Structure formats: C-alpha cells, structure tokens
Amino acid sequence: MSKPEEQKIPKGSYAAGRMVHLPEGAEPPFVVYINGVAQAEGVDYNIQGTKILFTREIIKEELNAVRKSAMLLGLFGTYRKNETVDVQYQKDGKTELAGDLKIER
C-alpha cells in the first residue's frame, strides 16, 4: 500500500478528523458525500461498524469570535475551505439523509 499524498490545509482552516458516526438505526446501502460529491467506498472511505473512516482528513474552517460575530451581523460571509459530510442511508425501509455530520478524530 502506497503512502497517501500529503494534504495541504489552507490558511484559516484545520484538519478536523477522519471519522463520522453513522446515524442511529442507519442501514445500507450508504451513499457518502463530501460537499455534495459522492465518495467511493474502499477508495475514499470505509465503513467499520457504526463509523465511517475516511482515507484523508476532512477540512473545516476556523471561526474565531470576531469572525463569527461579523458573519452573524451580515458584514461578510465565509470563503475558506469548510467541508461537510452527508450520508444517505436506509432506515425502516425509507431513504434518509443526514447532513453536516460531526467530524471526529
């Protein structure tokens, strides 16, 4: 197995982690998205029990108090890299979607 390529983290962002928990009661089939782009199981991520383990770090935006306040007041938006993880799954025979899952180490 080759070593993964070094991931560059843009200024104002940080590596949040490589894992998310599946929603309670989630059953396959799973479709995993990062920023709305479907990811490939076995290439971009693996399922281990109730966890999704990514092959790379998920990048989130650093928000300090001043930046949060300015955004809340509508002074400016955000243009830094901020990845979100969404998962489509089955639960009780219905297709469900969980958005912006919490990234963990």
Query: pLDDT digit string (tens) for 60-105?
Result: 988 666 655 665 666 666 566 889 999 999 999 999 999 999 999 9
How does residue 8 score in pLDDT terms, banded at 50, 70 and 90? confident
How does residue 44 score in pLDDT terms, banded at 50, 70 and 90? very high
Q: Rounded to two decimals, what is the model's pTM?
A: 0.81
The per-residue pLDDT of the chain, averaged, comes to 87
85 φ, ψ to 5°?
-115, 125
The pLDDT of residue 1 is 46
Q: What is the Rg, in whole angstroms, of the alpha carbon atoms belonging to the chain?
A: 16
105 and 19 in contact (C-beta within 8 Å)? yes
DSSP E strands in the chain: the ranges are 13-21, 27-34, 37-38, 45-48, 51-61, 85-91, 94-98
CATH ID of 13-98, from 1.10.10, 2.40.128, 2.60.40, 3.40.50: 2.60.40
Domain map (residue ranges) of the chain:
13-98
Give yes or no for residue 16 having a pLDDT over 60: yes
Give yes or no for residue 5 having a pLDDT over 60: no
The pLDDT of residue 88 is 98
